Each structure stands twice: as C-alpha cells, then as structure tokens.
A = this chain, B = another copy of it.
Amino acid sequence: MLINVAETVVADALRGMAAAHPELTVDVENRVIVRRDAPFAGKVGLVSGGGSGHEPLHGGFVGRGMLAAACPGEVFTSPVPDQMVRAAAAVDSGAGVLFVVKNYTGDVLNFDMAVELAEDEGVQIAKVLVDDDVAVTDSLYTAGRRGTGATLFVEKIAGAAAEEGAPLERVEAIARRVNASSRSFGVALSACTTPAKGGPTFDLPPGELELGVGIHGEPGRERRAMMTSREIADFAVDAVLEDLEPTSPVLLLVNGMGATPLLELYGFNAEVHRVLAERRVPVARTLVGNYVTSLDMAGCSVTLCQADEELLRLWDAPVNTPALRWGC
C-alpha cells in the first residue's frame, strides 16, 4: 500500500485533497470537506458522508451542482455526528440541508443523531436513505438493502435541483425519486486490502468471483468459478431488472470497484449495453469509471436509474467537482 501508517491514511488523504483542490475548504482536523463558496443565499445544501475507501465518493463530488459538503469517516467506518453537524452549519444558508445517507447501520444511526443535533442548532434538515443494491437484504453492515452506486445519481440529480434553487421539500422528493428509481448489482473479482488489516478483507481465491458483493467486500449471493465479461453482464443486468422494470430510458453507471482497468471496464460496458438492448431497455446516458470504489478491489457494478424527463434534465445540468464535471 502507498501509505505512511494506517492511523493517518484519512488525514493524509485530506491534506492531499486540500493541496490539489483550492476550490474546496478541507478541515483536516474535523474531517469536513466544504465548497469554498458555500453557503449560497436561498439554496439548499446537500451533505453526504460515509466510511473512507470509496473515493471519489463522497469528497470528490463536492462542488457546484452536487454536494455542498462531505464527511469522511475512517476506512469503511461511519463518520461521527459532530462532522455532519459541522458540515450542515457550514453550508446552511437558511434554506435547509439534505443529508444523503447510504443504508449502513452505523451511518444511519450517526446521521439520525446529527439530524437532532443540527435541528437543535436551528438548521432545517431533511434526509434521504440510499438503498439500491438488489444483491441481498440484511447483511453484514445493513438492515434492508445496501446503498451503493445510486448514491452518485442521488447526489448529482438532487444536487442539480438544489443548485437551481428548489426548496428543501422538493430537493428531498427528487432525491427519494432517484433512489426509488435506481437499482445496483456488484461483482468482486478480488478482495480489497484495508490499511488497518494490511491484507485481503476476505478470502476470494484466484479464479473465483463473488456475485452480489457489497462495497466493503460483504458477501453476496453466490461464489462461482470465473465468468466472462459477457456472462457477468448477463447476470448483473438481469439481477437489476428482476427488481426494476424501466418504462423510460435509463441512466447507466458502469462502475469499477477500484483495481479493474478502464480497458476492461469499457469492454464490460459493451456487454452491458448488449444485454440492455436484448431486454429492450433503452439507455439515455452512460457513465463508465471508478466512482464508488472499494479501495483496491477488482470488480464492477451496474446501476440503472429509470429517468423521466425532469431527472434527465437535472442529470445533464452543469456539475463542477473533482471527479464529475461537465457543462461548467
């Protein structure tokens, strides 16, 4: 691993973000990343956060048209309520704050506590839970479905609504609609290595894969001998479509888990498009890359979001963050 010691990995990364991105205010000590130009009069601020190790999620999505602030926890560990309260206070213009929370037990508990604390300080808070992963219900870190790739869709689309000046209840409703319209399925071709452990987080022998893996390496639906890109695309897309029957063109995220080369990810995207065409699901927009990662895990996930005209318009709206940028 390219680190100093496990204990300083998150603080080191935040110092590095501060050095690379003068457009962000990075509070290394309190672990809050904020748009330098926040708050904006009359505009809702989006705040998200979660364990580190999934970069660019969430810190790389702070900027115009997406998050106003992000709170990184330790690796694969929820941030604490104090971080979220600080972030909310930093970005609230009086129009309120939307918390975007991936559905993991620790995150849910801590964000719930932060809602109370921030409201005590006079900030109006709404909250949306992301739970798009169809692989399993109730797993190692979760009651209900896990939150994964759809987080990017929720943060981008609700962020665009906030940027346009939509009021809090409207931004919240859009975020909920995106989550309800989105489903994901992930596959691991290798385990990931956490700095604290220094070795693989779980045992996945070479030549096998884990279908339905979570973004912390949580077990999925089944383990099999290695499959082709074509077979994995069939399995992943069909798993998503069992749970979502799109009646309008979809947004497609073909996401890498961290260590899968972009060359392979684009090849996988070709197979995902092939299956979707066979299942008569038209694709409105495609995003391919490493966006919701699990450190150095090899593998990929597929997220579909059924996008009506409004969601599509908000997806296309300008965004200017370290990891997602267009139209600005």
Interface of A is mostly: mixed
Task: State which of B13, B56, B270, B295 has its C-beta within 8 Å of the C-beta of A16.
Answer: B270
Flag if A267 contacts B3 (CB, 8 Å): yes
| A 192-232 contacts with B by CB, 8 A | 228-230, 232
Task: State which of B189, B261, B300 has its C-beta within 8 Å of the C-beta of A55.
Answer: B261
A13-B273 contact given A261-B293, A288-B20, CB 8 Å threshold: no
Flag if B270 contacts A13 (CB, 8 Å): yes
CA distance A232 to B3 in the complex (A): 10
Q: Does A30 contact B (CB under 8 A)?
A: no
Q: A8-B267, A9-B264, A19-B286 are in contact. List 9 more A-B contacts (CB 8 A).
A: A2-B229, A4-B229, A4-B230, A5-B228, A12-B270, A16-B288, A19-B269, A56-B262, A320-B326
In the A-B complex, the 10 residue pairs with the smallest Cβ-Cβ separation, listed nearest first, are A12-B267, A16-B266, A16-B269, A15-B270, A16-B270, A259-B259, A55-B262, A13-B266, A2-B264, A20-B286
Nearest-neighbor residue (CB-CB) of A227 within chain B = B2
| A 216-273 contacts with B by CB, 8 A | 228-230, 232, 254, 258-271, 273
Q: Mark each residue of chain A from 266 to 292: 1 if its CB lies under 8 Å from any CB of chain B, else 0.
A: 111111010000000001001110100
CA distance A5 to B78 in the complex (A): 40
Q: Does A299 contact B (CB under 8 A)?
A: yes
Nearest-neighbor residue (CB-CB) of A267 within chain B = B12
CA distance A56 to B267 in the complex (A): 13
Q: Mark each residue of chain A from 136 to 150: 1 if its CB lies under 8 Å from any CB of chain B, else 0.
A: 000000000000000
Q: Does A52 contact B (CB under 8 A)?
A: yes
Copies in the complex: 2
Chain B residues near A53 (CB-CB < 8 A)? 261, 263
Nearest-neighbor residue (CB-CB) of A14 within chain B = B266
CA distance A328 to B269 in the complex (A): 26
Q: Mark each residue of chain A from 1 to 30: 1 if its CB lies under 8 Å from any CB of chain B, else 0.
A: 111110011101111111110000000000
Q: Does A75 contact B (CB under 8 A)?
A: yes
> Which of A15, A20, A75, A287 has the most CB atoms of chain B within a 10 A radius of its CB?
A20
Chain B residues near A290 (CB-CB < 8 A)? 262, 290
CA distance A56 to B315 in the complex (A): 23
Q: Mark each residue of chain A from 34 to 70: 1 if its CB lies under 8 Å from any CB of chain B, else 0.
A: 0000000000000000001101100010000000000
CA distance A121 to B270 in the complex (A): 34
Q: Does A296 contact B (CB under 8 A)?
A: yes
Chain B proximity of A268: nearest CB distance (Å)? 5
Flag if A295 contacts B3 (CB, 8 Å): no
Flag if A266 contacts B296 (CB, 8 Å): no
Q: Does A325 contact B (CB under 8 A)?
A: yes
Chain B proximity of A201: nearest CB distance (Å)? 13
Flag if A3 contacts B55 (CB, 8 Å): no
CA distance A327 to B259 in the complex (A): 29
Q: Does A304 contact B (CB under 8 A)?
A: no
A267-B13 contact given A260-B2, A286-B19, CB 8 Å threshold: yes
